[in-house]
Amino acid sequence: MKRWGLCLLRVSTGWLLVIWGLDKIVNVDHGLAVAEGFYLGIGSQAFFLNVFGGLEALLGGLVVLGLWRRWAYPVMTVTVGVTALAVWKSVIDPWGWVFEGSNPLFYPSVIILAAALTIWGSMGDDTMTLDARRSA
What per-residue confidence (pLDDT) applies to 68? Answer: 97
42-73 pLDDT per residue, tens: 777 888 889 999 999 999 999 999 999 999 99
User: Residue 21 in contact with residue 53, Cβ under 8 Å?
Assistant: yes
What per-residue confidence (pLDDT) applies to 40? Answer: 67
68-112 pLDDT per residue, tens: 999 999 999 999 999 999 999 999 999 999 999 888 999 999 999
Q: What are phi and psi of 130, to 5 degrees?
A: -65, -40
* Rounded distance between C-alpha atoms, residue 62 and residue 72, angstroms: 7
More confidently predicted of 34 and 92 = 92
Residue 136, pLDDT > 70, answer no
Report pTM: 0.90
User: Residue 109 in contact with residue 88, Cβ under 8 Å?
Assistant: no
* Rounded distance between C-alpha atoms, residue 54 and residue 48, angstroms: 10
Residue 113, pLDDT > 80, answer yes
Amino acid at 46: A
What per-residue confidence (pLDDT) applies to 73? Answer: 98
Closest CA to 9 of 119, 84, 106, 110: 119
**Count of positions (residues) in the chain:** 136
